[in-house]
């Protein structure tokens, strides 16, 4: 296994459309890196340049210590798993698995041992004599995974491999793939992975680190917790987390007890914030508060932002309140017991931000200007 490095990587399609704008990314040996972003942000283009399926118009791809720009896909030491499993329909599972080794003239006994081992790891031994059309979607995807695994590549590349599966199977394959990654590490065969998805849940649950992309640029690279707790900008803040972070444009007064004004109302954001923020005394800014980080004020409590509940969704243990604050519409997530205890005789609620979890963004640049400055 090897590390992967992208240096000022660029892609221009047809001399005119720049899809990738100089990306720099290091994926460490044995690391599971997820590329995530909305459709069209150039995740596949980036992956295909790593694989050698798309020519590179600027910068470098390094695998191990080699620049591989000029190498054909077969010489790069990569294996790729696609969304449409791309199994050979006329070959049994056994032959699909061993195909890559057979064309390299690997000795028969070795091929047979490798096939058995991969089938064992992926628990597909009972399927070895079936044709692809006799497999379920999840089984076919495991065979596709096996076909990549058997090559013992330097780097595994995945392009939305679970998108064709239903939600339940997707969740179980997610666990299977991360388990496999962990198991290979424990067995001393760590796998370097680049995994592309548009699904933030997949990214958050699978990645050691996540690279968030937008329009051919990297917005932030960090582990899941950091992305969630310390989003570098408005884009990451809005993309990571469900339901989305509430982003409200208003005015922030930065004193020892910062105040946020929106519409005709204002709310204290909490003293914790003043240590993280440095603004001229009152500035237009975007305040970000996750739906889970609002508290509903009790009866008689006049603090917080007052709004009208327009819609209520029961999610089981949680309830989503859609609240119209006048100049902003927000979602607050409250737990079911708290909701039961609420007085809903009027549809007016007061929402109080949880002070430790408030973010402030520069509305124009989008940058998070409330991250602890002492942190590395």
Q: Which residue number, 16 or 186, has a Cβ lying nearer to ligand ADP?
A: 16
Binding ligand ADP by CB under 6 A: which of 15, 39, 105, 280?
A: 39
Per CB under 6 A, 374 contacts ligand ADP: no
Window 186 to 225, contacts with ligand ADP (CB under 6 A)? none
Q: Contact at 8 Å (CB) between 83 and 160?
A: yes
Instruction: Supply the DSSP string of 166-182, one letter for each residue.
Output: -HHHHHHHHHHHHHHHH
Per CB under 6 A, 17 contacts ligand ADP: yes
19 binds, among ligand ADP, Mg ion, none (CB under 5 to 8 A by kind): ligand ADP
Binding ligand ADP by CB under 6 A: which of 40, 126, 298, 326?
A: 40
Per CB under 6 A, 79 contacts ligand ADP: no
Per CB under 5 A, 44 contacts Mg ion: yes
Per CB under 6 A, 84 contacts ligand ADP: no
Q: Which residue number, 44 or 306, has a Cβ lying nearer to Mg ion?
A: 44
Peptide bond into 243 cis (omega under 30): yes
Taking the complex as a whole, the smallest distance from the CB of residue 196 to ligand ADP amounts, in Å, to 7
Binding ligand ADP by CB under 6 A: which of 4, 6, 9, 19?
A: 19
Per CB under 6 A, 163 contacts ligand ADP: no
Q: Contact at 8 Å (CB) between 51 and 73?
A: yes
Provide Rg for the chain, Cα atoms. 25
How long, in residues, is the chain? 376
Q: Which residue number, 28 or 215, has a Cβ lying nearer to ligand ADP?
A: 215
Taking the complex as a whole, the smallest distance from the CB of residue 48 to ligand ADP amounts, in Å, to 7
Instruction: Please choose, out of 38-46, 87-95, 146-154, 199-207, the segment that lies near ligand ADP by the rule CB under 6 A.
Output: 38-46
346 binds, among Mg ion, ligand ADP, none (CB under 5 to 8 A by kind): none
**Taking the mean position of all CA atoms in its chain, how far away is CA 165?**
18
Q: Which residue number, 44 or 96, has a Cβ lying nearer to Mg ion?
A: 44
Q: Which residue number, 44 or 220, has a Cβ lying nearer to Mg ion?
A: 44
CA-CA distance, 340 to 171, in Å (whole number)? 31
Q: Which residue number, 14 or 316, has a Cβ lying nearer to ligand ADP?
A: 14
Instruction: Please choose, out of 41-49, 225-233, 236-244, 349-357, the segment that lies near Mg ion by the rule CB under 5 A.
Output: 41-49
Instruction: Please choose, out of 37-45, 113-121, 130-138, 337-345, the segment that lies near ligand ADP by the rule CB under 6 A.
Output: 37-45
Angle at 156 between CA 137 and CA 199, to 5 degrees: 55
CA-CA distance, 320 to 138, in Å (whole number)? 33
In 221-234, which positions are buried (b, 16+ CB within 10 angstroms) versus exposed (e)? bbebeebbebbbbb
124 binds, among ligand ADP, Mg ion, none (CB under 5 to 8 A by kind): none
Q: Which among 338, 352, 269, 339 is positioned nearest to 307, based on CA atoms?
A: 352
Distances (CA, A) of 277 to 169, 219, 227, 274, 360: 44, 21, 19, 5, 8
Q: Which among 103, 102, 115, 121 is positioned nearest to 150, based on CA atoms?
A: 115
Taking the complex as a whole, the smallest distance from the CB of residue 43 to Mg ion amounts, in Å, to 5
Helix (H, G, I), strand (E, B) or coil at 348: strand
Q: On the CB side of 83, how many CA atoms lie within 13 Å of its CA?
A: 10
374 binds, among ligand ADP, Mg ion, none (CB under 5 to 8 A by kind): none
What is the size of the binding site for Mg ion (CB under 5 A)?
1
Window 42 to 71, contacts with ligand ADP (CB under 6 A)? 42-45
Q: Count Cβ atoms within 10 A of the Cβ of residue 328 and give its class: 0-12 exposed, 13-18 middle, 19 or more buried.
A: middle
Instruction: Supply the DSSP string of 91-110, one letter for each residue.
Output: S-HHHHHHHHHHTTT--HHH
Instruction: Please choose, out of 39-47, 93-101, 224-232, 313-321, the segment that lies near Mg ion by the rule CB under 5 A.
Output: 39-47
Contact positions vs ligand ADP (CB under 6 A): 13-14, 17, 19, 37, 39-45
Contact positions vs Mg ion (CB under 5 A): 44
């Amino acid at each position: 296994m090897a590390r992967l490095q992208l240096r000022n990587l660029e892609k221009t399609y047809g001399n005119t459309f720049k899809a990738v704008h100089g990306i720099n990314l290091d994926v460490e040996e044995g690391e599971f890196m997820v590329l995530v972003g909305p459709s069209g942000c150039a995740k596949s283009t980036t992956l295909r340049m790593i694989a050698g399926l798309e020519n590179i118009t600027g910068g470098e791809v390094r695998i191990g210590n080699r620049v591989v720009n000029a190498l054909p896909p077969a010489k790069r030491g990569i294996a790729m798993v696609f969304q449409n499993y791309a199994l050979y329909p006329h070959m049994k599972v056994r032959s699909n698995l061993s195909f890559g080794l057979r064309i390299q003239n690997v000795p028969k006994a070795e091929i047979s041992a490798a096939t058995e081992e991969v089938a064992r790891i992926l628990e597909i031994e009972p399927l070895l004599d079936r044709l692809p059309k006799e497999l379920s979607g999840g089984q076919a995807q495991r065979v596709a995974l096996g076909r990549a695994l058997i090559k013992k590549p330097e780097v595994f590349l995945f392009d939305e491999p679970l998108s064709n599966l239903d939600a339940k199977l997707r969740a179980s394959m997610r666990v299977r793939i991360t388990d496999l990654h962990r198991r290979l590490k424990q067995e001393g065969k760590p796998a370097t992975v680049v995994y592309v998805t548009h699904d933030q849940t997949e990214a958050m649950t699978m990645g050691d680190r996540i690279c968030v992309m937008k329009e051919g640029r990297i917005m932030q690279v960090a582990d899941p917790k950091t992305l969630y707790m310390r989003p570098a900008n408005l884009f990451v803040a809005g993309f990571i987390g469900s339901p989305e972070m509430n982003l409200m444009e208003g005015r922030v007064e930065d004193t020892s007890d910062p105040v946020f004004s929106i519409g005709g109302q204002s709310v204290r954001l909490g003293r914790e914030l003043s240590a993280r923020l440095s603004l001229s005394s009152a500035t237009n800014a975007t305040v970000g508060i996750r739906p889970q980080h609002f508290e509903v004020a009790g009866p008689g409590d006049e603090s917080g932002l007052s709004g009208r509940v327009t819609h209520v969704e029961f999610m089981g243990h949680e309830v989503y309140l859609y609240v119209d604050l006048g100049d902003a519409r927000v979602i607050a997530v409250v737990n079911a017991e708290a909701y039961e205890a609420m007085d809903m005789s009027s549809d007016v609620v007061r929402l109080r931000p949880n002070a430790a979890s408030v973010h402030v963004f520069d509305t124009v640049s989008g940058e998070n200007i409330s991250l602890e400055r002492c942190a590395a």
